[in-house]
Amino acid sequence: MSFLNQEEIQLTKEYTDSGYIIRDSAEISSIHYLRDIIVRAASKILNLEFPNNPELFLNTIHQKLAVKDLNSFRLSLIQSINEDSNFRFHYYQTAKPFLHTLVGNELSMQLRVNLSIQLPGDDSSLLPVHSDTWSGDSPYEVVVWIPLVDCYKTKAMYLLSPKNSQNLIDDFKNRAGQNSEELYQSISNEVEFLDIKYGQILVFDQGYPHGNRINEEQETRWSMNCRFKGVFTPYGDKKIGEFFEPITLRAQSRLGMNYKFPKSQ
Ligand SMILES: [Fe+2]
């Protein structure tokens, strides 16, 4: 029994079958807002003018930045992101209708948005294959992943499909190997690198194995990620208040939480 409408059923099926959906942003002006904040902060750190072509600027940042400076550069940018009081609002706007269908309309959002930068050939900022749930995240969390440049092949992230994840989990003892690289090799023919363009958003289930490889393309990858979950769904290691905060609580939930029964004496 489901009272979802046709459009919701379609999105739900696609997400459940693939472990992700990619859609044009629900609010393209919000994506531009996010990119502008980052490009402005990046050009300031590098003592450059705001570029005429932000996409080219981001794609070729490796020509202006040494690998050794990458992490401090990235951390400064994350600080700028999180100092902007509208950043998370616009982040949410990009995915709002998809989150409402797949997760719910009373949402908790991660307090700090993350930024990843993968320079071509750089092996210092790789994310080995993992599921966030394996290290304590709640299986009720989704990740909204937003690229700031077009991502394809090894410039993109990869995800293992629900079907292949099930096969892996059923035979985990034999396939896990001694380390995460051996685990990756056991699924390397099955993972899908998720092609996604600037202006689109990805929502994926972080409970399926995912990660990235050395970016072997000629351009730098820039992407942001942030978790969302239903406010009243179970929390894992990432708690409400310290990691998540409710962003769309509804009237009766607020009233219910504050409800007091009459005193009997
Ligand atoms: Fe992850």
CA of 258 to the centre of ligand 1 (A): 35
Neighbour tally for 262: CB within 10 Å: 4
Give the pLDDT confidence score for residue 125 in this predicted structure: 80
**Ligand 1 (single-atom ion) residues, CB below 5 Å:** 132
Residues 196-207 have pLDDT tens digits of 999 999 999 999
Cα gap 213→158, rounded to integer Å = 8
- For ligand 1, the distance from its centroid to the CA atom of residue 205, given in whole angstroms, is 9
Work out the mean pLDDT of the chain and round it to a whole number: 96
pLDDT digits (tens, 9 = 90+) for 216-258: 999 999 999 999 999 999 999 999 999 999 999 999 999 999 9
- Helical packing angle, 28-45 and 67-83, nearest 10°: 130
Distance 41 CA to ligand 1 centre (A): 25
CA 200 from chain center: how many Å? 12
Question: How high is the pLDDT of residue 260?
Answer: 95
CA angle 245, 247, 248 (to 5 degrees): 140
CA of 172 to the centre of ligand 1 (A): 19
Please, what is the Cα angle at 23 between 117 and 32, to 5 degrees? 55
CA 11, CA 203: separation in Å to the nearest integer? 11
Residue 141, pLDDT score: 98
pLDDT single digits (tens) 4-59: 999 999 999 999 999 999 999 999 999 999 999 999 999 999 999 999 999 999 99
Q: How high is the pLDDT of residue 174?
A: 85
Q: Report pLDDT for 178.
A: 81
Q: How far is the CA of 229 from the centre of ligand 1 (A)?
A: 15
CA–CA gap between residue 87 and residue 82 (Å, rounded) = 7
| Cα(206) to centroid(ligand 1), Å | 6
Instruction: Write the Ramachandran bin of 244: left for phi over 0, alpha for psi from -120 to 50, otherwise beta.
Output: beta
